[in-house]
Amino acid sequence: MSGMTVYKRRRDELIKKLGRSVAIVKGAPEQTRSHDTEYPYRQDSDFFYLTGYTEPGAACIIDPNNQDHPFQMFVLPQDPKKEVWTGWRLSFEETEKKFGCDRAADIAEFENSALESLKKATKVYTNLNHNKDHHHTVLEWLQQVRKEVQRSGGGPEGIESLGAITHEMRLIKDAHEVELMEKAAQISADAHIRAMQASKPGIFEYQLQAVLEHHFVYEGGAGPAYTSIVGAGDNATVLHYVKNADEVKDGDMILIDAAAEYQMYAADITRTFPANGTFTKAQRELYDVVLKAQKAVIEAAKPGVPYKTLHELDLKLLVEGMLEIGLLEGSYDEIIEEKKYQDYFMHNTGHWLGLDVHDMGKYMVDGESRSLEPGMVFTVEPGIYVNSRSDAPERFRGIGVRIEDNILITEEGNRNLTDGVPKEVDEIEALMGRK
Ligand code: GLY
Ligand code: MN
Ligand code: MN
């Protein structure tokens, strides 16, 4: 399935779930970067998921009570003077055809059409995400309509989050989404290989960032799916190190957490490797603990497994490993109970991945960890971070290691979408030309 069919199938599913309620959905606003220049525009993920529409200034109404126009889109009208600056806009007829809507109209008509739809709806669903203004506007419309139709007993009872429906749908990727995520993963994996090959003492972190991001865009990606992290030495121990400003030193380990967004879908890859291409003994000891845990967690990921058991397994193996190499001391039980491992491992083992890098969808359902199902995609990303100020054994100080892959659950088990980039010690050393 491809093209507009996927969006129609999603809207049909949404319409079934709406019953007699209406969804009033707004596209993402443009964001100012400085003075009168904007950040590159990126559509709201839910809006995109339902429409496939990537231009700014749009909204849509999905209304099961509207027999003639269950799917209406509201877009910026054609305006030759503005189009000279920002590019051609489709006519309403072209929009209807291209996006399969029953009616396309000027965004200026959005309010009146929304008010009409609200009169017949039992509830209204809006995308809450980052667009607070839209939520307030819909609340005002709802109050207005309730006053108008009070005597006939109508008007929606309240506002619900559209995400309650769409985020559950987004959790299970369809074939079209898997294809795009495979492409995002492949571009990102190739970029990591190039960055490893370019690494050497004396290079700057931002130069490696440039190698990665050049490849993302060169291969047709929108750019990085999130701010690239390139940290050498102690910088690798800072979880969200995004300055990428320092020179790489001989003997450093380099941690790169960077990936492309491709046609709105994110990959999310981390690799850690020695700047000079050869692991020291201490680097390898730490690395092997993380690698062993990461591989075991991936091995354990299959349908029916509760998601939280992956983190539990990861934690167990990391703590056992840290005890073995002498990074942690004491009893296993005490380290777990008192969370002493948090000195070196302080984040979760992974997260859902899709249109958003930290993708939507609940991790718990009715108080229970949700079970893995075919079509789910998530990251597996254990790490150990020993910063230079730590009182850990000296040989481990200033080393941060994370290894992160993107895993698709299949009927049989799982598929690693990012296995195109090496993570075995021998493979990394060979790739960097030191073996
Ligand atoms: N790159 C963001 C994360 O790993 O969660
Ligand atoms: Mn991640
Ligand atoms: Mn990451």
Query: What is the tens place of the pLDDT at every residue in 336-383?
Result: 999 999 999 999 999 999 999 999 999 999 999 999 999 999 999 999
CA dihedral 6, 59, 155, 141 (to 10 degrees): 160
pLDDT score of 434: 64
- CA 151/CA 49 separation, integer angstroms: 38
Residue with tokens 């050869």: 278
pLDDT score of 130: 67
Does 1 have pLDDT greater than 70?
no
Does 150 have pLDDT greater than 80?
no
Contact between 191 and 271 under an 8 Å Cβ cutoff? The reply is: no
pLDDT score of 154: 75
Helices (H) then strands (E): counts for the chain:
13, 21
CB within 6 Å of ligand 1 — which residues? 226, 257, 268, 351, 357, 381, 404
Please give all residues whose CB falls under 5 A of ion ligand 2, grouped by chain where several chains appear.
268, 379
Does 41 have pLDDT greater than 60?
yes
Q: Which fold has domain 3-170?
A: Creatine Amidinohydrolase; Chain A, domain 1 (3.40.350)
Active site residue 311: no
Does 391 have pLDDT greater than 70?
yes
Query: What single DSSP character describes residue 404?
Result: B
Which of 332, 310, 328 is closest to 382 using CA atoms?
A: 310
State the pTM of this model. 0.96
**Which element (helix H / strand E) includes 223?**
strand 223-224
Query: How many Å lie between the centroid of ligand 3 and the Cα of residue 268?
Result: 5
The structure tokens listed for 365 are: 């359902």
Active site residue 285: no
Q: Please give the average per-residue pLDDT across 6-29, as a whole number.
A: 97
Which of 24, 19, 12 is closest to 124 using CA atoms?
A: 24
Buried b (16+ CB within 10 A) or exposed e, 351-367: bbbbbbbebbbeeeeee
The pLDDT tens digits for 224-256 are 999 999 999 999 999 999 999 999 999 999 999
- CA 232/CA 217 separation, integer angstroms: 24
Which of 404, 405, 406, 418 has most ligand 1 atoms within 8 Å of its beta carbon, as the pocket-test mutant?
404
Query: How many Å lie between the centroid of ligand 3 and the Cα of residue 315?
Result: 18
Active site residue 79: no
Query: Which atom from ligand 1 is nearest to the alpha carbon of 229?
Result: 1
Cβ atoms within 10 A of the Cβ of 307, count? Answer: 20
Cβ atoms within 10 A of the Cβ of 119, count? Answer: 16
Q: Are strands 383-386 and 399-402 parallel, antiparallel or unpaired?
A: antiparallel
pLDDT score of 2: 46
The pLDDT tens digits for 42-86 are 999 999 999 999 999 999 999 999 999 999 999 999 999 999 999
Query: Which atom from ligand 1 is nearest to the alpha carbon of 402?
Result: 4
- CATH ID of 172-431, from 2.30.140.10, 3.30.420.40, 3.90.230.10, 3.40.50.620: 3.90.230.10
Which of 147, 126, 146 is closest to 137 using CA atoms?
A: 126
The pLDDT tens digits for 281-293 are 999 999 999 999 9
Closest residue by Cα to atom 2, ligand 1, is 268
Query: Which atom from ligand 1 is nearest to the alpha carbon of 257?
Result: 1
Active site residue 136: no
Q: Do domains 3-170 and 172-431 have the same CATH topology?
A: no
Report domain extents, the chain: 3-170, 172-431
Q: Which residues, in sequence order, are bridge partners of residue 73?
A: 60, 104
Query: How many Å lie between the centroid of ligand 2 and the Cα of residue 245?
Result: 22
- CA 309/CA 266 separation, integer angstroms: 25
